[in-house]
Amino acid sequence: MCGIAGFWQRDNIPADAAVVERMVDAMAHRGPDDRGVFVREGIGLGHTRLSIMDLSERGHQPFVTADGLGVLVFNGEIYNFRELKQRLGAEGITFKSASDTEVLLYALHRWGAPAAVPQLDGIFAFAYYDLRDGTLWLARDRVGVKPLYWSRRNGTVVFSSEIKALFVHPEIPKVRDDHALTTQAVFMRVDGDWTPFAGVECLTPGSLTKITPEAITTDIYYDLYRDLDVERILANAGRPFAEQLAEFEALFRDVIERQLMSDAPVAVMCSGGIDSSYVTAVGAEFKPDLTAYVADLSGAGIHEAVKAQAVADKAGIELRRVPIDQERYLRYWPRAIHANDQPIFFPQNVMWMIVSSVVQADGFKVLLAGEGSDEVFGGYRWQKSTYDMWRGRRFQLQPWLNNKVSRKIAALLAPLWPGQDVGKWDLHPFFREPLESNILYSDAAMAPLDGLQRRLRQRQIYQKLAAVKPAAERAFLARGIDDFYTHLRTCLRSSDKMGMAVAIETRVPFLANAVIDFGYHLNFAAKWTGEEQKYIVRQASLKKIPRENVYAPKIGFGCSHDFWRKGAYFIRGGMFAEAMKWDRAAQDAVIEALREDTYRMHVYIGFEMWYQMYFNGKTPEQMSERLLAELV
């Protein structure tokens, strides 16, 4: 929807409006329709607007209450704003706009942030300043769909929807965090709130932070592990599946209807896979003129567009294909990394940006997507691997340690932490052992890179599900919950920014409050029956999309690795070589290993391009030209 930025200064030091303006400039791409700044002693708030609800000037931000004592900058959508508006109206609040922003503002102002935020159903990040007591509140939605980054230094708190805007503020230096980069490069994920920049963090999803001169405190208003009700899972095991299916279908229809709510044009991403196809089919029932988009990839025998066309034909809607060949991909790849402010882990991010740019050029502002279903309903291969391992099947697992690249990287990193068995870092409990004291790696070995946070969380999840029997089913459900904190958050670090780089808001029905609550309280059999993962989603989809799409192998926005296959040498003399103090022989070893792992190669090339753009002054255009000259 928008971009927000600002800063708070202790002791009411006068805020510089010019700094806020420059922060807004740094992310103007997020909102080309309007912009605004609010400055008082000690506080500066900025906003750049992508108009979606109430397209008039009445939706201008920063939004100030009628009494002048509350001000809000907000990015996102509140899907239940009409219900909240009705309640506030009954309490005597009058509204001047039809925007959800104004409803959120008065909910915060009237009820207080701690009472209002848990009631929100939506995707959001906001900063609310209460002039009555000088308190600044920062919050993010439950899952972390909408980004919010912050940095604290010398009595100043700076925040923004995108990291690049933080560095506009004179108090915030741009410093590389090699600890974070090493962790992300080795484990291929983002865990926790850190970023590759020292002193810069993302606010925790599901958190509400209170900032006053006396203290900065954060409350976690939603946490999946904490709020999980194991008794509900056990009760669902006794329910007829037909009853569960009917409940899912009804709540998902309600979610789609809410997420189609917009005063601006809405489209849908349809990859041809089961999740986006189901979103497309249900969406078309509410909006017969819905337009669908698909990435039409060249190379590697990928035919997602054909599957998407079958879905569109059955739904009776238009499908627009977006051709993506090697040249187009290489031109957008550096742009995607620059837009993300951080290295990206998935080729799908680049394709998402390409498709979004076409969607925006066609006049749309909102794009529905199928992201999140695999985490919530158990669709990933590693979730199946966890279950198979616990059942004792003869299954050839390929964990991190069995990857040639990872073994070589681990060996090269080992000198950085003498006396620790780096090679066992990722032999985590879900893959190797029950969550008991005989884990194969030591606490000391894990702490330098990934910390104990994930291991402890895995142990806690498994123990909380102790009443779920047998153990294999418990482990399967536990792995899905862990993915909510790891894989999903890694994906969400990029998905918003790929669309917002070209002024497209992405909405994710499978991550709606009601769907998450329903999905994570399902019993095992509703998620996996026989060899059929995401069972309840497949059964619902069979009623609306072609059977071939429901049971087609998972591709997940597939992309030809031939696009970058020649690029392993990109790491030579680059960031990794410098940070890890690799000599030429070590670099040669890693380059050779990357040639056997083109997925990791993509990530490492991306790391190098990120470093060149953020620390060596290269532009995305310069990096694109290099890619085209050397890889085509």
Confidence tier at 421 by pLDDT (50, 70, 90): very low
Task: Convert the pLDDT of each residue in 225-245 to its tens digit.
Answer: 999 999 999 999 999 999 999
From residue 463, alpha-carbon distances to 226, 261, 377, 469, 471 in Å are 12, 41, 20, 12, 11
What is the arithmetic mean of pLDDT over 267-291? Answer: 97
pTM: 0.90
What's at 340, amino acid-wise? N
Task: Convert the pLDDT of each residue in 306-317 to its tens digit.
Answer: 999 999 999 999
What is the arithmetic mean of pLDDT over 166-176? Answer: 97
Q: What percent of the chain has pLDDT over 70?
A: 89
**Minimum mean pLDDT among 174-188, 286-300, 374-388: which range?**
174-188
Confidence tier at 569 by pLDDT (50, 70, 90): confident
404 pLDDT higher than 80: no
Question: Is pLDDT larger for residue 216 or for residue 12?
Answer: 216
Query: What does the pLDDT read at residue 557?
Result: 58
Query: What does the pLDDT read at residue 513?
Result: 98
What is the arithmetic mean of pLDDT over 618-625? Answer: 97
What is the arithmetic mean of pLDDT over 591-611? Answer: 91
Say which residues have a Cβ less than 8 Å from residue 495's Cβ, sequence separation at least 6: 145, 349, 352, 369, 371, 506, 508
The three-class DSSP label of residue 557 is coil
Query: What does the pLDDT read at residue 398?
Result: 40
Selection from 543, 513, 539, 514 nearest residue 526 by Cα: 539
Residue 333 near residue 260, CB atoms below 8 Å: no
Beta strands in 353-397 (DSSP E): 366-368
Q: 5-39 b/e with 16+ CB inside 10 Å = b?
A: bbbbbeeeeebeeebbbebbebbebbbebbbbbbb
Q: What percent of the chain has pLDDT over 90?
A: 73
**Minimum mean pLDDT among 94-103, 404-413, 490-499: which range?**
404-413
Average pLDDT score over the chain: 89
Q: Name the β-bridge partners of 321.
A: 294
Can you say how many angstroms the Cα of residue 120 is from the centroid of all Cα atoms in its chain? 19
Selection from 189, 281, 211 nearest residue 600 by Cα: 189
Looking only at the bridges linking them, the beta strands covering 43-49 and 34-40 are antiparallel
The separation between the first and the last C-alpha atoms of the chain, rounded to the nearest angstrom, is: 36
Task: Convert the pLDDT of each residue in 55-102 to its tens digit.
Answer: 999 999 999 999 999 999 999 999 999 999 999 999 999 999 999 999
Question: Is pLDDT larger for residue 558 or for residue 6?
Answer: 6
Query: What does the pLDDT read at residue 408?
Result: 59
**CATH superfamily assigned to domain 2-222:** Aminohydrolase, N-terminal nucleophile (Ntn) domain (3.60.20.10)
Confidence tier at 188 by pLDDT (50, 70, 90): confident
Residue 141 near residue 161, CB atoms below 8 Å: no
438 pLDDT higher than 70: no
- As annotated, the residues of the chain forming the CATH 3.60.20.10 domain(s) are 2-222
444 pLDDT higher than 80: no
Query: What does the pLDDT read at residue 442?
Result: 36
Query: What does the pLDDT read at residue 419?
Result: 38
Q: 60-96 b/e with 16+ CB inside 10 Å = b?
A: bbbbbbeeeebbbbbbbbbbebeebbeebeeeebeee
**Minimum mean pLDDT among 15-24, 138-147, 291-300, 374-383: which range?**
291-300
Query: What does the pLDDT read at residue 62?
Result: 98
Confidence tier at 554 by pLDDT (50, 70, 90): confident
**Minimum mean pLDDT among 43-52, 448-457, 569-578: which range?**
448-457
Question: Is pLDDT larger for residue 266 or for residue 572?
Answer: 266
Task: Convert the pLDDT of each residue in 529-545 to its tens digit.
Answer: 988 999 999 999 999 99
| Size of the chain, expressed as the number of residues it contains | 632
CA–CA gap between residue 409 and residue 566 (Å, rounded):
20
Cβ count near 153 (within 10 Å): 12
CA–CA gap between residue 584 and residue 587 (Å, rounded):
5
Cβ count near 616 (within 10 Å): 9
